A and B are shown apart, each in its own frame.
Chain A
Amino acid sequence: MMRRLLSVWHARNLEFLRDRPTLLFTLLLPIGLVIGMGFIFGGPPRPLFTVGLLGTSRATAADPFLRERRYVQFVPIHDEAAGRSEVTHQEIDLLLDLRGAARYWVNTDSPKGYIVEKLLIAADPGARRQPVTGQAIPYVNWLFPGILAMNMMFSCLFGVGYVVLRYRKSGFLKRLHATPLTAFEFLTAQVLSRLSLILFVTIVLYVGIGAIIHFHSVGSIALLLLLAVIGSLSMIALGLTIAARVASEEVVGGLLNLLTWPMMLLSGVWYSIEGSPRWVQWVAEILPLTQVIEAARAVMLDGAGIQKIIPNLVYLAVTTLVFLGFGAWSFRWRVD
């Protein structure tokens, strides 16, 4: 028995070592994850307070406050309305506008806002106060859109990627190829099948979890459904692209992990990445999951309308077409 076991062990080792792409993924993925996590979570301890800054820093009376970097993290904000919304929801503790005479927005319901305001007034007593009120969004509510979107992502990528691979390896795709069915028809059928499944599951999760945590979307449910359709299409198309021609489970698994891990960590499922380095945010914006989560939170938590999330929808629609086009172009029916 031991001899048979060792023979199989040896043969499998050889197979693994000779499968260069798999070997590469196996080595590079954990390295990439460790380096990535180091960049995101490394460095000095996180500050106690977060202050949004509108406009560039220049010589102002608030300078001593702006130099207070040990306990305060300053985050550039480009859109005043978005910044005010973040103060309202206590996602940041204070919003400071440096574009003219210093003024700031602080949430009078926020204990951290109260303290950080004292620090600002100590440096610049003349800063004009703009009080806002609003309860912090419970973390579970903030997390909910991210969890729904992440579940969609896994179903789209793994559900489609592995299924197509299995069809190819078993020869089922080859049999289909011998019929009048075209690659585009096959891929479209896969997309639609997975889309209907995902929508069904997502609706069940939305209703079920929503009932448990007493969540009610502030924005339009129809708009959320539209977002779910376009977001799912983009990620299904990405899954098909991965499985378009590969015939190895290890390679497909590696590629899917390479996509899902960064999306899980960088797309803002678990926490906001506003305080992360600029390049991390830039990478995050490329990921379809980020676009889905941003838009879903805007609709579900802030009641955003279609105008607000149209850039996200357009991005997802364009990536759908790009991924599907590439998938159809590179599709292989059989193992070469």
Chain B
Amino acid sequence: MRYFSTLLLLLSLAASLSAQTSFSGLVVDENDEPVIGANVYLAGTYDGTSTELDGTFLFETTEVGEWILTITYLGYENWEATIQCDQSAQSFEVKLAQSTNDLEAVVITAGAFEAGEGKKSVTLSTLDIVTTAGATGDVIGALQTLPGAQRVGEDGRLFVRGGAAYETKTFIDGAYVAQPYTSTVPNVPARGRFSPTLFNGTTFSTGGYSAAYGQALSSALILESDDLADHTLTGISLMSVGGSLSHTQRWENTSVSVSADYTNLQPYMGLIPQNIEWDQAPKTSGGQVIFRHRFEEGGLLKAQVQHHASSMALSTLNPQLLEESIYVRLENDYTYAGLSYQTMLPGDWSLKSTLAYTRHEDRTRTIAQINERQDAITGNLQLSKGIGETHLLRSGLNFIYEDTQEGLRFEEHMEEHGVKEPLVAAYLEDDWTISKKLVARLGARVEYRTSTEELTLSPRWSLAYKTGEYSQIGVAGGRFVQTPTTNFLFQQPGLQSEEASHLLANWQWQKSGRTIRVEAYEKSYRNLALQTEKELNNEGGGFARGLDLYYRDRLSIPNSDFWVSYSYLNTERTFDRFNTPIQPGFASPHTLNVVYKYWVNRWQSMIGLTGVWASPRNYYRPDNGALAGQTTAFRDLSFNWSYLTQIKDHFTVIHFSVSNLPGFDNHFGEQFSQQPAADGTYPATTIRPPAKRFVFLGVLISIGEEGASIY
């Protein structure tokens, strides 16, 4: 009998187990539209279902007790509720909230053009850079097609939003780079020193940048070096102007790259007519070693050393008289060594540190002999930590030590200058996600310049607000401080720092393949170095304001990618030897770039065209003592053809490019004699590009594992 009762008990238990609880309901999104195919289930059980075409669901469970009802759908936040399975019929109406994943989250974009993997702002990849016609494989050349950059054809460096070239600074892995350009003589454009293939992230900021970057009044070019090389690979490049050989070896946790390059423009310049009378065309030789290692605990060590020697010699008119020609020879030796280490520390702190050394020596031989040598040691130490989901804290220390020595010898006369500029800085910054739609970056930077005992505080701030699924607005601003250039410091070592403040606002719309961006800015300058009749002081200043437009489209025309950028600039300043406010010689009020790339599958070729038009700039005329001259508008139409093929099973690219296809006659102003002729006028000669066109042919062969290439 007692067995019987036990059996009864067991049976009733089994019955209760099979009694079911049912769940039904409706799942909608933020617009009350039904969500189709959402997963509705009791977490930890097999029981659940997918929502129907009308967003409804119904399922049953034999489970009992407390469970969590879960609803998941890609792109939406998970929904959860604790429920009791008590054989009842339960009904739910659920509204899912869109998740802020990295695809849709609001990001700080004011002022910055980011490039690289996984970045959501406006991007230029390594491939974009090498296939941009007119850029000739130079990062700087490609960035000049973006809004905010000015075209100063005789110089080649980056001029941003009414700022002089020295106001744009380059940073590699957070550390200031002392000499980012090749060495050159006046009116022969410089190029960037660093190859685009070395970096996996590039941020070109045209204003309002983070407190982590200092000593730049106008713009920061922020480069993040690559991690371990992907493949073992040998690269051979043969160019109409030289060649290079590189080898990269990849082990499990280590990669080493060694490369050597040589360029000599002599044979090329013998074929193509030049505006310059070269005695020795520019030639460069050098090499580079890059070592990268990932430690077992996750730390990453990178070391890079490059050395290049270059020289050129030419005959030019004697600037004193412009009558006879004089011989000028420039030799340069350049060494860069960078060491960086990054790792995670206990307590979720992330550490990034970089130490860089640059030595740059220019030897100019002309009527006089001028030697200029700069040694620079720069460093960056940054600690960052995410606090909860809402704060990302960054703090760091920077130091810059620049020692510049110049010696001038003219016949028996000797003159020597030297400037040592040590500087230390500390910064603190917080990226604060206030809501899903609003993010703020608030930071401050303190700098101490030892030579003048200046202590400066630079607040920086930036806000971004998401206005729609694909659009956002942003504002940014701050104070920016910079040591004057060494030319001024030679004359007056105690010259105070120069200063700018930025205010900018932007609107950006971005949807797969298309980007529109509008940014307005206002910049004011104070304490600029000014040469008056009596002295060199800090009484210069001025403003720059303008509007930048950018449109990029990879979708509308099949197999095409194009961008259009337009910059309007209104700027005046007192600076250098200009004591009344004037539009400086490096500013064009209007700049328009159109970059077009087309992939022709049948020809296995990428064809590119880049058109540039920049309105005339002012130049200095000694006869009336002001920037009264007007250059021609800068006009260029460059063509680029990259043909992709296989040579003996090795991936090969043949690049062909021509600049200034239509042969525009661009004038960059005039060079005047420093002494007036007998009749009181100043003899002058027109400054033109070194050659009307530049034609380039190169073959790039990648020898390595399947699927490997140097891009």
Task: Please say whether chains A and B are actual partners in one complex.
Answer: no
B: residues with CB less than 8 A from A are none
